[in-house]
Amino acid sequence: MTFWVIAALLAAGALAFVLPPLLGHRRAGGVTADETNVALYRDQLKELDADLAAGTLNTSRHEEARNEIERRLLEDVRAAAVPAAPVSGRKTAIAIGVAVPLAAILLYLAVGNPQALAPEAATGDAPTITRHQIEGMVERLAERMKETPDDVKGWVMLGRSYAVLDRYPESVAAYANAVKRSPPDAQLLADYADALAMSRGRDLRGEPERLIAQALKVDPKNVKALLLAGTAALEQKNFKGAIAYWERILKVVPPDSDIADAVRDGIADARALAGAPKAPPPKTAMKSAPAGVGGTVRLAPALAAKAAPTDTVFIFARPVDGPRMPLAVQRKQVRDLPAQFALDDSMAMTPAMTVSAHPRIVVTARVSRSGNARPEAGDLQGASRPMANDAKGVVVEINEVVR
């Protein structure tokens, strides 16, 4: 409870800086009529909360009375407002007054750890704020938007709130209202495309692709649009296209960021799906073969019934110490097993990530039913022990099921 009180005070402090300019009140000195009204209504709200805590007022009557007080307060403030204050500013202030604390709560519930703040949860007590209460806040925001339909920021906040709650059709409708009322905005278009795809079962084809292309015309460096564009290309087995989109992301995000690591993994997966590029054959027989590791991959007899002959087999070399990005990849099928493999510098994902550049490596082999390079539940896999990067005669047995 202490955390939520502090959070509420911080949000109130932030709103105290943001809302007055938007509401357009001009102070001539002393206490304004609005401040007096707010103080009176605040006292009334405190009395209502006290009655609710004491049990003399039930929840429904408390909510009804609170809504009535808020309505009267807004009407009084509007009546006393300076005529020159723009209407759009007041609408924006109302939306922000709802959106700022709502966004903070939704964001914390989505990525934070609410259980850490509620030790009583371990004993089975109900949490302080439930999903039902959050949904109620979102619905109140939706009702506000009916009164202020031209508030683009309010529609955007509503769209994001519905997306957090996995209510994608409503999220799509909110984003559509925002796009209709806003000049071209790359981030808004990308968010709209994402929600639309989620509402269609994660399908980016058609209208989502059109929105993504429009977003990239507005801002060719928008990270979310580039991520979605690469994903759409990957779904259509356009591996080179996916790699091209994702490589553009690496030019605009910090190289040591989490998103950069994730994008590099995605690029490596796309390269594996496309087949690792190989260097041209040597021009003369005098040139030695590139450094690398070689051996055999086999499937444990106990797992033979769990794999189809046409299932894809990915064979990776990864560094013992360093990023997870594969140093070299080969692709085969279960029907080829047991199969010989050779992983060397000619199969490098990038010039800086080669087998010879890492003294100690691990070779992993994975049977993928879906054909995706990323491990999925039900895949079969096996790995070697750490070894030198030029080891020969290595045997990798695929002997476990991915959980």
**Model pTM?**
0.42
* Range with the poorest average pLDDT among 8-17, 254-263, 375-384: 8-17
Span 236-253, average pLDDT: 90
Question: Where are the domains positioned within the chain?
Answer: 2-25+34-118+128-228, 292-401
* Tens-place pLDDT, residues 305-355: 889 999 999 898 888 876 667 888 888 999 999 999 999 887 776 666 788
Overall average pLDDT of the 371-395 stretch: 87
Specify which residues 395 forms β-bridges with: 296
pLDDT at 97: 54
Residue 122: pLDDT above 50?
A: no
Q: Summarize pLDDT for 175-185 with one digit per residue, the tens.
A: 999 999 999 99
Band of residue 43 on the pLDDT scale cut at 50, 70, 90: low
**What does the pLDDT average to over 265-291?**
62
Query: 135: closest CA among 168, 164, 101?
Result: 164
Q: Domain 2-25+34-118+128-228 falls in which CATH fold?
A: 1.25.40
- Please check the confidence at residue 387 and state whether its pLDDT lies above 60: yes
**46-105 per-position pLDDT tens digit:** 666 766 666 666 666 667 766 666 655 555 544 444 333 344 445 545 555 555 555 555
pLDDT at 24 over 80: no
Q: What angle separates helix 186-199 from helix 207-218, to the nearest 10 degrees?
A: 170
Which amino acid belongs to residue 284? Answer: T
Which range scores top for mean pLDDT: 8-17, 146-155, 255-264? 146-155
> What does the pLDDT read at residue 180?
93
Q: What is the pLDDT of residue 220?
A: 94
Predicted local distance difference test score (pLDDT) of residue 183: 92
CA distance 171 to 66: 28
Q: What is the CA radius of gyration of the chain?
A: 29
pLDDT at 258: 76
pLDDT over 60 (residue 233): yes
Q: Which residues contact 57 (CB under 8 A, 6 or more apart)?
A: 48, 51, 65
DSSP 356-375: TT-SEEEEEEEEESS--SS-
pLDDT of residue 189: 94
